[in-house]
């Protein structure tokens, strides 16, 4: 009788344990998925910010080079045109990274999506300005007008303003998920 009672208790314990196991598994899976999504968003954000930082640096170099070449006397003007290529490659990389950031934040992080869309618009506008300046430079004997020269520091400022901290929902998810 004692053995039968013991078997019944052990059997009941297994039934309860098996009943609770599926209920606990989705919660753990959901928590894991949320942490993974937050880490993916953080990684995409960091890569995007790094690409934007590179675009800022390339724009700064371009602005400095253009200023120096425009300040030379006409007989010493460098025959090689100012190269917009590195800036444009950096801008295209930043655009790609911003699109990747938008994909990771889509539907899960509205603040990240809004920030990313605004940054994408700015990056595309600066890229279009860069292409326009390059075209103008080629048709103006490798010399930019003072107004065109002013566009480069403005581009640099616009790009610098994109270097931000993560939107609040991303930072709070990360700090909450690491506890």
Q: What pLDDT is stored for residue 133 in this prediction?
A: 95
The mean pLDDT value of the chain amounts to 79
pLDDT-derived band of residue 86, with 50, 70 and 90 as boundaries? very high
Instruction: State how many domains the chain has.
Output: 1
Which residue range forms the structural domain that includes residue 91? Answer: 2-162+169-177
Rg of the chain over all Cα atoms, to the nearest angstrom: 28
pTM of the predicted protein model: 0.73
Q: What pLDDT is stored for residue 174 in this prediction?
A: 47
User: What CA–CA distance (Å, rounded) separates 170 from 76?
Assistant: 52
pLDDT-derived band of residue 19, with 50, 70 and 90 as boundaries? low
How far from 176 is each of 35, 38, 145, 168, CA to CA, in Å?
9, 10, 52, 12
In the predicted structure, residue 95 carries a pLDDT above the cut 70 = yes
Q: What pLDDT is stored for residue 13 in this prediction?
A: 47
Number of other CB atoms surrounding residue 140 within 10 Å: 12
Residues 77-82, mean pLDDT to the nearest whole number? 58
In terms of DSSP H, where are the helices of 71-145?
A: 85-105, 110-139
In the predicted structure, residue 76 carries a pLDDT above the cut 80 = no
Q: What pLDDT is stored for residue 73 in this prediction?
A: 54
Q: Tell me, what CATH number does 98's domain have? A: 1.20.120
Residues 100-113, mean pLDDT to the nearest whole number? 82
Residue of 130, 117, 167, 113 whose CA lies nearest to 55: 130
Residues 57-63, mean pLDDT to the nearest whole number? 94
């Amino acid at each position: 009788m004692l053995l039968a009672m013991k078997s019944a208790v052990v059997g009941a314990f297994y039934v309860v344990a098996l009943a609770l196991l599926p209920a606990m598994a989705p919660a753990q899976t959901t928590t894991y998925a949320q942490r993974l999504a937050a880490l993916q968003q953080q990684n995409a954000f960091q890569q995007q910010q790094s690409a934007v930082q590179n675009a800022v640096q390339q724009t700064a170099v371009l602005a400095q080079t253009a200023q120096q070449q425009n300040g030379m006397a006409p007989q010493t003007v460098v025959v090689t045109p100012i190269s917009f290529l590195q800036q444009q490659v950096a801008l295209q990389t930043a655009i790609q990274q911003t699109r990747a950031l938008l994909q990771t934040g889509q539907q899960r992080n509205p603040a990240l999506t809004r920030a990313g869309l605004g940054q994408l618009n700015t990056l595309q506008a600066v890229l279009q300005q860069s292409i326009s300046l390059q075209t103008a430079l080629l048709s103006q004997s490798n010399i930019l007008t003072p107004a065109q020269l002013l566009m480069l520091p403005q581009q640099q400022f616009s790009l610098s303003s994109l270097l931000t901290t993560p939107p609040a929902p991303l930072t709070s998810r990360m700090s909450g998920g690491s506890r």
